[in-house]
Structure 1
Amino acid sequence: MRRRRFIIATAATTVALALSIDETPTGGRLAMSDITRARERINRLDAHFAAIGGEPLLTVATTYLDRLTTAADHCTYGPRVEQALHTTIASLCSSAGWAADDAGNLDAAHRWRTTALQRAILGSNPQAQARAWSDLAIHARRGGHHREALRISQTALTSRAARQNPRYTALLQSRLAISHAHTGNRPAAARALLAAQTAHDRIDPTQPAPRWLNFLTTAEISGLAAITHQAMGHLADAETATAQALTLLEPGLRRSHAYYTVQLAELQLAQGNTTDAHTTTAAIDTTHIGSRAITDRLATLHRALATA
């Protein structure tokens, strides 16, 4: 455990140095070039999240948020830069929300996600608003508020981003499917899954995705479908979809790989396949993954296997 904490702390320090947060101006006049550099830093932060999880990045994200909000309060800028600055802060708040989620601090995650929505509205950015709504839906589901999560997902799907961009549609329909499953509406869950897959098939691979949406691959669509099947009690289908997700996942998405491997072992154990569950669990290495959400699930899985 001490070795894992040392690795996580070292990762946080390395990321903070690489982002050069201290170079962000806190006085004078801001230009679009400053916003571009801020966005590049946030993109790199999101890339690290996919690789190592959010727990070691929480302090980095919140420190950078302090720096950007100070710039917003004390620098001068024109209307175009102001709008872009709000959108950039919204993006960083969303990243901080995920980092707090991975660190097990759900109250902080909710605060950052709510702030992300506020900043996205101030920035008049439909993509940032859709992202914030999607994250708030996940937060509601984490707390067991499945009808709230359902309404949030439905609201997000009315956004301009969802109507115009199949990537956002695929993500939000996947979230909606999970919420329908948890509220017992299986036909609606099946329709949402089909809509998510249809939208994902419409994505133009030549059009680059926002960096934070790079995780939304075919593998992730399978993984989210597995969560829906699990919520409906279709454990065999959930296991098949989870195994498919793991087969399709890119090697660099280490956090997703750990997440879905834990999910696979949980599904195997739930179906009484203790031998497979032991084998799958033994292959999980979270030493370099900073996510309390994943390690807590793994600890629960170990305890369940010990008494199985």
Structure 2
Amino acid sequence: MDTPTNTVLTVLLHEYGYTHQSLADDVNHVSGRIFGRPGAATDRDVRRWISGTVRWPTHRYLLPLAEIFDRPPEAMGFVPRGRTSRLPTPPAPVRPGQEEPVKRRAFLTASTAATLTLALRLEETPVRGHLTMADVDRITATIGRLDAHFTAIGGGALLTVATTYIDRLRETADGCTYGPRVEQALHTALSGLHSSAGWAAYDTGDNVTSRLHHAAALQTGILAKDGHAQARAWSDLSLQARAEGRHREALTINRTALQTRHARQDPRIAALLHSRLAIGHARLGDHNACARALLAAEMAHDRFDATAPPPPWLRFLDAAEIAGLAAIAHRATGRLPDAEKATAQTLRLLKPSMHRNRAYYGIQLAQLQLAQGDTTSAKATATAVDTTTVSSPRIAQRLAAIHHQLATA
């Protein structure tokens, strides 16, 4: 009988930007931290996991894989062989008294940052010698994997990792020799990394640091002469302005971004910008303009090319996120039933790996239910929100606030 291919793991490799060899290398690095000595996985092992020849890897590989992709083995497409196939506890177990949720989240944040710094092999990016496009391609793949981790768990654990890598790439830019093409590509990579760092700072509630990184992302995008990077930076700056209550400025930035060539040509960027434009109009009380922007976002979403994979930073933008952004706009216009319906749709459509967004929109649904007087549903929704694998102080604060409101309702 033919062995079924592990299509889930295949998709994960694509989403995180791994080759067979780079995943094997990362598994060996993480295995070294967990077990005290590096593993011996090869690209052949990865191929055997994908082909289904090995349906449940040894625990020396299974534990690192669970940490790298931040999910249990079954969610990576592996098939248990019975009770003996349960994921074993890593060495150096947590001492008694350290299992409280707050301490567990703090441990998650620290261990995730340390693991990513090691697994992404940031120290291997050259800071001397001649830099080639192959080097920049590896840098870009690393940043893509960092973006994938943010999408899954949030930015609280990733700010240190991102800023550390920014410093490393600054050394690379100053210490290496390269031609004009490599220079532009390096600036593009730095722009994307600053955007990631800006989002990570936003998730920690540090608006000042977030704003600085988004501004740096725009600057390096201009140096790279990369319209796609500039459109991303403009989009992030508009959201930052909105988060700080500068709604008219956010609207102006959004309009500027929509006028760029890449926004006109790339329906994914257009959908994101129109969705955020709708929220801006809603916050300023222009309901008709909000409705027009939401329609434009839906029309742009209909033009997505499903055969062409989006860049890593835009992989979060799917039907679920479009519905979620529409819900935020509806809420701002006071259309709470429509906002609740769109938020519920978002939660139905979200991929299982989107832990951060699932927590974010779960809290939003509870807030909407409470605002409409449905305390019973709000309590059930808030209780079901799972933040154990999410590293986002901003989301944790929102969850604590809704629990406090429900306790006094």
The normalised TM-score by structure 2 is: 0.75
- Counterpart of 2:110 in structure 1 is 9
- In 1, distance between residues paired with 2:379 and 2:223? 50
- In 1, distance between residues paired with 2:354 and 2:120? 20
**Number of aligned pairs?**
308
Residue 222 (structure 1) aligned with residue 323 (structure 2): yes
Which of these residues, 185, 191, 195, is aligned with residue 84 of structure 1?
185
Q: Is the 8 A contact 1:8 1:288 kept in 2?
A: no
Structure 2 segments unaligned to the other structure (5+ residues): 1-101
Residue 287 (structure 1) aligned with residue 388 (structure 2): yes
- In 2, distance between residues paired with 1:201 and 1:46? 24
Aligned-partner residue type, residue 325 of structure 2 = L
Residue 170 (structure 1) aligned with residue 271 (structure 2): yes
Give every structure 1 segment of 4 or more consecutive aligned residues whose post-TM-superposition deviation is greater than 6 Å. none
How far 1:104 moved relative to its partner?
A: 1.3
- In 2, distance between residues paired with 1:84 and 1:160? 19
What SS is found at the alignment partner of 2:130? Answer: coil
- Counterpart of 2:252 in structure 1 is 151
Which of these residues, 26, 32, 41, is aligned with residue 142 of structure 2?
41
How far 1:75 moved relative to its partner?
A: 1.1
- In 2, distance between residues paired with 1:198 and 1:304? 38
- In 2, distance between residues paired with 1:177 and 1:187? 10
- In 2, distance between residues paired with 1:29 and 1:89? 18
Structure of larger gyration radius: 2
What SS is found at the alignment partner of 2:177? Answer: coil
- Counterpart of 2:347 in structure 1 is 246
How far 1:4 moved relative to its partner?
A: 1.1
How far 1:36 moved relative to its partner?
A: 0.2
How far 1:283 moved relative to its partner?
A: 0.5
- Counterpart of 1:200 in structure 2 is 301
- In 2, distance between residues paired with 1:198 and 1:42? 30
How far 1:91 moved relative to its partner?
A: 0.3
- Counterpart of 2:97 in structure 1 is none
How far 1:14 moved relative to its partner?
A: 1.1
- In 2, distance between residues paired with 1:80 and 1:128? 16
- Counterpart of 2:367 in structure 1 is 266
Higher helix share: 1
What SS is found at the alignment partner of 2:387? Answer: coil
Residue 69 (structure 1) aligned with residue 170 (structure 2): yes
How far 1:161 moved relative to its partner?
A: 0.9
What SS is found at the alignment partner of 1:88? Answer: helix
- In 1, distance between residues paired with 2:305 and 2:213? 31
- Counterpart of 2:206 in structure 1 is 105
Task: Among all aligned residue pairs of Structure 1 and Structure 2, give the percentage whose two residues are the same amino acid.
Answer: 59
- In 1, distance between residues paired with 2:348 and 2:386? 17
Q: How does 1:103-142 map to 2 (within 5 A)?
A: 103-142=204-243
The normalised TM-score by structure 1 is: 0.99
Greater relative contact order, per chain length (Cα 8 Å cut-off, separation 6+): 1
How far 1:134 moved relative to its partner?
A: 0.5
